[in-house]
Amino acid sequence: MEQKTLFAFFGILAFFLYLCIHLLFKLKNLKADFQSLSSLKTEIEKTEIHISQVQHELSQMQKMITQMAQTLDAEHEESVNKQLKFQKKQQWYKEKERQADEITHEILSSPSSFYYTVNSCMTPIESHMFYFLTSGLQSIFPDYSDRKNYFIFPQISLHAFIKKINKPVKTTVSFMDDELSDLPRRNLVGKNVDFILCCRSYKKKNPTDVDSIGFFAYKPVLMIEIDGTSHFSDERYGKESFDRTHKSDLFKNALAMDLNISLLRYKLSGTQIDSKQDSEGIQNALRDFFRDFQQNMDSKIYCYDKDGEIEPDTYYSPSSAT
């Protein structure tokens, strides 16, 4: 009986030990599983952070792609608009050219519908002044042999005796389009002088060839401008016309000083000619010019009115305007 009891006790004890050992292994496995779960959780958190970073980068890339697409759309739209404007401009030029051809055809078909001839190539004032100038020459040089080589021509374009330099000229303007680069030429073509005094001389095309054909050269030595009220006030023709006239005067003054060709400016008193006083005023101005010219003096701007010489610095001042 005791032996059976003892066996039963040891059996229960062995079973209890087995259970303890089994529980220990289970706990160890659970600990390992817990550690694995902790590591897995850490990896999951890292993966989530990485996924968040990737999502942020994808969002930034999407924004960049959207901006690039918008930029490309804007550039495409601008390119299309430019092309449309260019096409419209071409059409406008073609239409303008067509209209110009049509008007030219009408002009050629019937010039009298557009033009008429006048009885004089000079205005009454210019005609009077031309007479005073030629009379002044006769008074200064009574002997024909002394004055035979001096000629006065009316209404001469600046472009007839002043030429634009063909080579490119450096300016302070960094960029000039075709219209601006043509401005120096148009300044000459669009402007006249009232009169030009020329000195005639005989020249040969080939001076070394005695049989070479000769010709008379007419060298401009004095530009003559008759300045009426429009040169001193905007009351009669308005400010725009006055500004344009003043700029033209400044341009001619600059040409005279820099290109060594003298300029005579004669100021009229109002809109009427005083035959005696203006004739004497012109004659005095010419006399002073020839005095300097025959002494080979440098070019000069001569400013006169019927009362005599005026200082160039005060020529345009309100106090000197009449």
The pLDDT of residue 176 is: 58
Same domain, 160 and 213: yes
- DSSP-derived 3-state class of residue 123: coil
- Asked if 108 and 137 sit in the same domain, the reply is no
Q: What pLDDT sits at residue 269?
A: 75
Q: Is the pLDDT of residue 3 over 80?
A: no
Higher pLDDT, 83 or 187: 83
110, 150: one domain: no
Are 73 and 133 in a shared domain?
no
Residue 320 pLDDT exceeds 50: no
Q: At what angle do helices 275-294 and 124-140 cross, to 10 degrees?
A: 50
Q: Does residue 322 lie in a domain region?
A: no
Residue 19, pLDDT score: 76
Residue 272 lies inside a defined structural domain of this protein: yes
- Where among 117, 136, 153 does a domain terminate? 117
Per-residue pLDDT, 179: 65
Asked whether residue 321 is domain-assigned, the answer is no
Give tens-digit pLDDT for 84-138: 999 999 999 999 999 999 999 999 999 999 899 988 888 888 999 999 999 999 9
pLDDT of 191 strictly over 80: yes
64: pLDDT strictly greater than 60: yes
Residue 153 lies in a domain: yes
Percent of the chain predicted with pLDDT > 70: 89
In a domain? residue 77: yes
Could you tell me the two tokens for 129? 């002044």
Residue 244 sits in the same domain as residue 279:
yes
Phi then psi for residue 148, to 5 deg, are: -65, -20
**Shared domain check, 275 and 166:** yes
Q: Which of 5-9, 71-75, 180-184 has the lowest mean pLDDT?
A: 5-9
Shared-domain flag, residues 19 and 134: no
Average pLDDT of the chain is: 84
CA angle 289, 295, 214 (to 5 degrees): 90
Q: Domain for residue 246, yes or no?
A: yes
- CA distances for 162 relative to 85, 158, 190, 208, angstroms: 40, 6, 12, 27
Banded model confidence at residue 321, pLDDT cuts 50, 70, 90: very low
| Within-domain flag for 319 | no
Q: How far is CA 220 from CA 67, 178, 264, 274, 314, in A?
A: 68, 31, 13, 28, 27
Q: How many structural domains comprise the chain?
A: 2
Backbone region of residue 164 per phi and psi (left: phi > 0; alpha: psi in -120 to 50; beta: other values): beta
Interval 31-42 mean pLDDT: 76
Same-domain check for residues 153 and 113: no
> Which of 117, 133, 161 is at the close of a domain?
117
pLDDT above 90 for 264: yes
Which of 227 and 14 is assigned the larger pLDDT? 227
Using pLDDT thresholds of 50, 70 and 90, give the confidence band for residue 317: low
157 and 280 together in one domain? yes
Contacts for 237 with CB less than 8 Å, ≥ 6 apart: 230
Q: Can you point out the beta strands (E) in 104-191?
A: 150-157
What residue type is 168 in one-letter code?
A: P
Closest CA to 265 of 121, 129, 122, 153: 129
Residue burial 18-27, b: 16+ Cβ < 10 Å; e: rest: eeeeeeeeee
Q: How many CA atoms lie within 13 A of 91 on its CB side?
A: 6
Based on the domain organization, do 234 and 201 belong to the same domain?
yes
Q: Which carries the bigger pLDDT value, residue 123 or residue 168? A: 123
Strands 301-305 and 308-309: antiparallel
Residues 6+ apart with CB under 8 A from 45: none
- Asked if residue 320 belongs to a domain, the reply is no
Q: What confidence tens digit (pLDDT) does each residue in 127-159 have?
A: 999 999 999 999 999 999 988 999 999 999 999
153 shares a domain with 109: no
Domain end position, chosen among 117, 151, 178: 117
- Alpha carbons 137 and 128: distance in angstroms, whole number: 14
Domain shared by 33 and 176, yes or no: no
pTM higher than 0.75 = no
Range of the domain at 108: 1-117
